[in-house]
């Protein structure tokens, strides 16, 4: 759906370059058991895109040979990929930190009853979307009944030790604004989340990550339909903070799509803006075994202002508070 949005340009955003590659963020599949309004991937139950065994074999080679230390698995619901568990176990044996971008409700889906136990057993770090600690706001953004199912998923994870003091099992939650606004203070909102979830449901977690909505794909189309697109883009521009540039995630992360092609970030992936690599029309996973990305120019467009606006935004939450 991103091709129906206004053309984003790169005339105003500062030129930036890559640092040392530390993390692979791999989009295993666009298939998902949910269809959220803010989803920049347009994921859903009817999507069929999924990484093939041949591409996975190349990913295994990169994991084995490249000094990258983090494998960040996303989708869709990455757990719905049939080789998800094999990939996680392989990466953990190789000593990589593994992050699962979990929507929580997948833990209650048929065929996934033992998923929480598997993730705990492998020491996987979980980053889970929960856009509010109240039922109405979550169900409005993610679908009826999602809040109750998300709470059930969090309770499963807590029972396995996730979020518990000294367990070593990291459980982080993710907040996205409901509409065309910047996230509030991450530290203050985390305190509110912890107080409400503990008091109302007995749930604990480690950290809250606030992420600014990108004006692309499903959220961008919603802005267009409501006549809010230009105003939101102007808000992002007006809220630009140069000090956030040094910490944006594209300095140290490469996004990998389900076919194995490389992008500077997940948002560029959804916009079809491939990572630029000299001598390659489209850089692929197999190129990582020879290529040096340090100093490589990063492909930017106007949506990049979402990552530098206000307290900043990355897949790891706010850059500053």
Q: Does residue 7 sit within a domain?
A: yes
The answer to whether residue 313 sits within a structural domain is: no
Give the lowest-confidence range in 9-13, 139-143, 208-212.
Answer: 9-13
Residue 179 within any structural domain of the chain: yes
The C-alpha R_g of the chain, in whole angstroms, comes to: 19
- pLDDT confidence tier of residue 81, bands split at 50, 70 and 90: very high
Q: 296 lies in a domain?
A: yes
32 sits in which H/E element: none
DSSP string, 80-142: GSTTHHHHHHHHHHTT-EEEEEE-SGGGGSTT-TTHHHHHHHHT-EEEEE-S-SSHHHHHHHH
26 domain-assigned: yes
* Phi, psi angles (nearest 5°) of residue 217: 50, -135
Count how many domains the chain has.
1
Note whether residue 164 is domain-resident: yes
- Going by pLDDT thresholds of 50, 70 and 90, the confidence category of residue 263 is very high
pTM of the complete model: 0.91
Q: Is 57 helix (H, G, I), strand (E, B) or coil?
A: helix
Per residue in 23-79, pLDDT tens?
999 999 999 986 665 566 667 888 989 999 999 999 999 999 988 999 999 988 999
Report the pLDDT value the prediction gives residue 143, as an integer from 0 to 100. Answer: 66
- Whether the per-residue pLDDT at 22 is higher than 70: the answer is yes
For residue 44, give both structure tokens.
Answer: 């859903």
Task: Examine the pLDDT at 251 and tell me if it is beyond 80.
Answer: yes
Q: Tokens at residue 272, please?
A: 């079809």
163-217, pLDDT tens digit by residue?
999 999 999 999 988 889 999 999 999 999 999 999 999 999 999 999 999 998 7
Q: Is the peptide bond before 76 cis (omega within 30 degrees of 0)?
A: yes
CATH number at residue 252: 3.20.20
Q: What mean pLDDT value characterizes the chain?
A: 90
Q: In the structure, what pLDDT confidence band is assigned to residue 236 with cuts at 50, 70 and 90?
A: very high
In a domain, 226, yes or no: yes
Q: Is the pLDDT of residue 124 over 80?
A: yes
Report pLDDT digits (tens) over 294-314. Answer: 999 999 999 999 999 999 999
Provide the domain limits for residue 61: 2-308
Average pLDDT over residues 115-122: 98
- For residue 314, tell me if it sits in a domain: no
Predicted pLDDT at 25: 97
b/e 105-116 (16+ beta carbons within 10 angstroms → b): bbbbbeebeebb
């Amino acid at each position: 759906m991103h091709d129906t949005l206004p053309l984003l340009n790169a005339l105003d955003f500062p030129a930036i370059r890559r640092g040392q590659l530390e993390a692979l963020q791999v989009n295993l599949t666009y298939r998902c058991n949910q269809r959220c309004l803010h989803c920049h991937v347009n994921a859903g139950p009817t999507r069929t895109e999924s990484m093939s065994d041949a591409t996975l074999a190349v990913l295994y080679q990169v994991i084995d040979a490249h000094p990258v230390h983090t494998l960040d698995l996303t989708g869709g619901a990455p757990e719905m990929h049939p080789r998800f568990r094999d990939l996680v176990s392989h990466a953990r044996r190789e000593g990589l930190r593994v992050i699962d971008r979990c929507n929580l409700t997948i833990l209650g889906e048929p065929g996934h009853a033992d998923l929480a136990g598997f993730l705990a057993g492998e020491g996987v770090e979980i980053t889970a979307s929960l856009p509010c600690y109240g039922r109405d706001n979550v169900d409005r953004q993610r679908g009826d009944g999602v809040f109750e199912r998300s709470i059930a998923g969090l309770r499963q994870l807590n029972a396995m030790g996730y979020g518990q003091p000294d367990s070593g099992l990291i459980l982080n939650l993710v907040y996205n604004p409901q509409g065309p606004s910047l996230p509030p203070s991450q530290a203050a909102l985390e305190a509110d989340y912890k107080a409400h979830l503990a008091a109302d449901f007995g749930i604990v977690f480690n950290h809250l990550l606030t992420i600014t909505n990108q004006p692309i794909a499903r959220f961008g189309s919603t802005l267009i339909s409501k006549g809010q697109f230009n105003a939101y883009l102007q808000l992002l521009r007006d809220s630009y903070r140069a000090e956030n540039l040094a910490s944006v995630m594209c300095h140290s992360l490469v996004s990998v799509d389900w076919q194995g092609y490389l992008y500077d970030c997940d948002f560029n992936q959804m916009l079809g803006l491939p990572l630029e690599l000299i001598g390659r029309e489209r850089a692929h996973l197999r190129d990582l075994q020879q290529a040096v990305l340090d100093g490589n120019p990063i492909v930017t467009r106007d949506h990049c202002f979402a990552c530098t606006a206000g307290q900043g935004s990355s897949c790891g939450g706010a850059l500053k508070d």
